[in-house]
Amino acid sequence: MISALSTPLMSALDQTSEWEAFIKAGQSASVHPNDLRLFDAAGLALDFTGQVTSPLLIKSAEALLSARHFNLYRDKLLSGQSINNTEERAAWHTMLRAPAPVEAVAAERQRMNEFIRKADSERRWRNIVHIGIGGSDWGVRLTVGAFGYAGMWRQVRFAASIDGHAIEGALAGLNPHDTLIVLASKSFTTAETLQNGRRAIEWQRNAGVEDPYENLMVVTACPDLAKAWGARDSQIFRLWDWVGGRFSLWSSVGLTTALAVGSDVVAGMHAGAAAMDMHFASAPFEKNAPIQMALAGIVNRNALGYASLNIAPYDFRLANLVPYLQQLEMESLGKSVDLDGDPVHVATGPAVWGMPGTDAQHTFFQWLHQSSDGAPVDFIVCQEAGHHWPEHHRSLLANCLAQREALLQGKSYEEALKECLASGLPQEKAEWLAKHRVHPGGRPSNLIVLPKLTPYTLGALLALYEHKVFVQGVVWGINPFDQWGVEYGKVLAQGITEELSGAKPKDAAGHDASTAYWVERFGG
C-alpha cells in the first residue's frame, strides 16, 4: 500500500460510520431560504443560503473531516510535502504565490519581471502568440480576457489544439518580426504544443526572420528538453515538478499575462490567492469558505445525487472561467480509485459545465429550472462593474439574483394558477397551463460576490476553487493531483498518428473494428 508510506491509512469511505452519518444528515437536511448563510473569505462574500443545512449535518461534516485526517492532509499540502502519491511529488502551488517564497521561486519571479520591464521599456513585440494547452493555456486565457477584454497595446493570440486551424488562425496577419512566441509546457513533451511551436518557428523563418529563436520564450520544468529543441538558456523560464500542470498559472506561465496586461496583475493575483490560502489554513471549520463549499458539493453529489455542477459567472470578462474550472475540477476529481488503488464505491467529482450569464439563461437555464434532473449552480458576480453603464450592471445583477431565486424558491401550482387566471385565461385553460409553469424550486446554488473584478479578487476566487477541490479529494480519498486517464489518451493518439503517417504499420488486430476501419480510411 503505497499511500501507507507517507499518509495514514484511511478506511474505505463507504464503510465508515462518519460517512453514513454524513449522508443521512445530508438527506434529511433542507434549504432554509430565510436563514442567511454568509461567509467572508479573502475579500469575497459567499452566500450558501441556497444549500441544504442542519445542525446535525454540520456536526457530522466535522466528524467526517476528522475521520479523513483532513488537518494532516491540509498541512502536507501547504508545507510542500509529497501529497501526489502516484507521481511521488508535492503539489505546492501555494508556494508560487507566497509573499515570501523559497529562493528559487523568488529568483525566477525577479528574472521574469526584469524581462518584462526591458521588453516594455523597449516597446518590443506588438504581438504575442501563446502556445500551450490545458493548464499551460486556460489560466492565461482567463486572465488576459479578464483584464485585457477592452484592448491591450500588445495583441495576444492563443494556439492550443493540435488542429492546424488553431495555429493558422493565431499567426494569420501578424508581423513575424514583431511577434513573440511564448511556448508553455511543463513537461515539454506535449504533442500539441511542440507541433504548434514548430509551425510558429517555421512561420518566422519563412518570413525572413534571421534567428526565429530570438522571438521565442519557453516556460517549462524540463529546460534540457527545451534546449535540445532549440531554445537558449536565457530564453527559458523554469517551473518545478512540484507544480501541477493545472496550477501552473501561478508560475512563469503567467509571462504572457504579464506582457499583455502587466506584471502588477500577476502580483495582484498572487496576493489574492495567498490571502485565500491563509484563510483556508487558519479559518475555523464553520467559517472556512473552501471547506464549507466542498462539503456542500459532497452533499449535492452523494446525498442528493446531483451528477453535475453548473458554473454561471455573471461577468462577460470571466468567459474562460468555465473551461478553467472544468480542468481544475474534472482533471482533479475525475477518479474512482482511492489512494491505495481500491474502488472508492461512492460517486466522486461531478461533471462541470456552464457559460456566462445572461447568455446562459437563453441557452440552457430552462433545463436547470424545470428538467427532471437539474444541477447545483455557482453564481459568480461582481458588485461593481468595470464599465460606465450602471443600467447594464443593474440588469445583470437583477438577472443573477432572479435566476437564483427561481431555483431556490420555485413556483407552486397554486401560484402558477393564480397568475394564469390573473392574465384572463378561462379556468380550464388556466389549470392546464399552470401545470407547465410550475418550478420545483429547492435547487441548490452558491452565490459568490467579488466587490469588483481585480487581480486580487480573481486570485482569491481561483484559490477558493482549488482548495474546495482539494478538500473534496481528501474526503473521497482520491489523488486530486494526477491525471492518468489523459496520459493514456495521449499514448493511444501517438500510436495512431504513427499508423496514419506510415511511420509504423497499421495494426488492425490491435484496434476495435471501427477504429481499424477509420485508421485504414484516413491513412490511405
Site residues for ligand F6P per CB under 6 A: 133-136, 185-187, 190, 193, 245-246, 331, 483, 486
The b-or-e profile of 69-106 (16+ CB within 10 A means b, else e) is bbeebbebbbebbbbbbbbebbbbbbbbbbeebeeebe
Q: Would you say 403 or 483 has its CB closer to ligand F6P?
A: 483
Phi, psi of 236, rounded to the nearest 5 degrees: -115, 125
Q: Would you say 73 or 324 has its CB closer to ligand F6P?
A: 324
**Residue 414: burial class (beta carbons within 10 Å; 0-12, 13-18, 19+):** exposed
**Smallest separation (angstroms) from ligand F6P to the CB of 119:** 23
Q: Would you say 21 or 249 has its CB closer to ligand F6P?
A: 249
Known catalytic residue: 362?
yes
163/166 Cα distance (integer angstroms): 6
Q: Would you say 50 or 244 has its CB closer to ligand F6P?
A: 244
Q: Which three cell numbers stand for residue 302?
A: 452523494
Active-site annotation holder among 287, 362, 392, 435 = 362
Q: How many CB atoms lie within 10 A of CB 351?
A: 14
Closest CA to 279 of 134, 484, 473, 74: 74
141/128 Cα distance (integer angstroms): 12
**Smallest separation (angstroms) from ligand F6P to the CB of 266:** 18
Known catalytic residue: 429?
no
CB-based contacts of 73, cutoff 8 Å, min separation 6? 7, 83, 470, 474
**Smallest separation (angstroms) from ligand F6P to the CB of 490:** 8
CB-based contacts of 317, cutoff 8 Å, min separation 6? 145, 146, 147, 149, 386, 453
In DSSP terms, 314 is beta-bridged to 381
500/519 Cα distance (integer angstroms): 6
Q: Would you say 84 or 185 has its CB closer to ligand F6P?
A: 185
The amino acid present at 504, given as its one-letter code, is K
**Smallest separation (angstroms) from ligand F6P to the CB of 77:** 18
Known catalytic residue: 20?
no
The residue to which cell 427532471 is assigned: 372
What crossing angle do the helices spanning 484-501 and 191-206 adopt, rounded to 10°?
Answer: 50
The runs of H, that is alpha helices, within 160-283 are 164-171, 191-206, 223-229, 255-261, 263-282
**Smallest separation (angstroms) from ligand F6P to the CB of 134:** 3
Active-site annotation holder among 331, 369, 466, 468 = 331
The b-or-e profile of 468-502 (16+ CB within 10 A means b, else e) is bbbbbbbbbbbbbbbbeeeeeeeeeeeebeebbee
Q: Would you say 189 or 383 has its CB closer to ligand F6P?
A: 189
Q: Would you say 223 or 262 has its CB closer to ligand F6P?
A: 223
Q: Would you say 329 or 331 has its CB closer to ligand F6P?
A: 331
Q: How many CB atoms lie within 10 A of CB 272?
A: 26
**Smallest separation (angstroms) from ligand F6P to the CB of 190:** 3
CB-based contacts of 224, cutoff 8 Å, min separation 6? none
**Smallest separation (angstroms) from ligand F6P to the CB of 218:** 11
Examine residue 193 and say whether the peptide bond preceding it is cis (omega within 30 degrees of 0). no
**Smallest separation (angstroms) from ligand F6P to the CB of 15:** 32
The catalytic residue positions are 331, 362, 490
